[in-house]
Structure 1
Amino acid sequence: MKTRRVFLLVAGLILVLIGALWTLQGLGVMGGSVMSGVTLWAIIGPVVAIIGGYLLVRTRR
């Protein structure tokens, strides 16, 4: 049971960070990528971050 909790915690944290990165790239804040300035990533990023946040909250229970 503890292994699953650690896995969900790490997965949630990674998803939040990736979602934030994708959002910033989609908004054009971070350049240097094919994803920079593409609106699709500004939409997908927050969705991924919310899923990661849900996993983080779920592991706290």
Structure 2
Amino acid sequence: MRKLLLTVGFLALAIGLLWIGQGTGVIGWPPSSFMIGQLQWAGYGATSAAIGLILIWQGQA
């Protein structure tokens, strides 16, 4: 169970950080992404990253 929490947590954190970067326009990859420059996706990314951090924290316990 611990490995699963850590794996899912790190994936959620990585995806969340990517979405934050795309939503704020800092990351322009892939160039054809509809999420680039859309602040709504930065919010989704922050939520995903927070959930990922919680899962990582729970996996450490």
Q: TM-score, normalised by structure 2?
A: 0.91
Structure 1 alignment gaps of length 5 or more: none
1:39 lines up with 2:26 in the alignment? no
Q: CA RMSD in A?
A: 0.6
Shift in Å at residue 7 of structure 1?
Answer: 0.7
Structure 2 alignment gaps of length 5 or more: none
Q: TM-score, normalised by structure 1?
A: 0.91
Task: For CA contacts below 8 A with separation 6 or more, give which structure has more relative contact order.
Answer: 2
List structure 1 runs of 4+ shifted beyond 3 angstroms: none
User: For residues 34-53 of structure 1, what are the alpha-carbon distances to aligned partners after superposition, in whole Å with 9 as ceiling and x for unaligned?
Assistant: 10001110111011000000
**Higher-Rg member (1/2):** 1
- In 2, Cα distance between the equivalents of 1:36 and 1:26? 5
| Matched residue count | 58
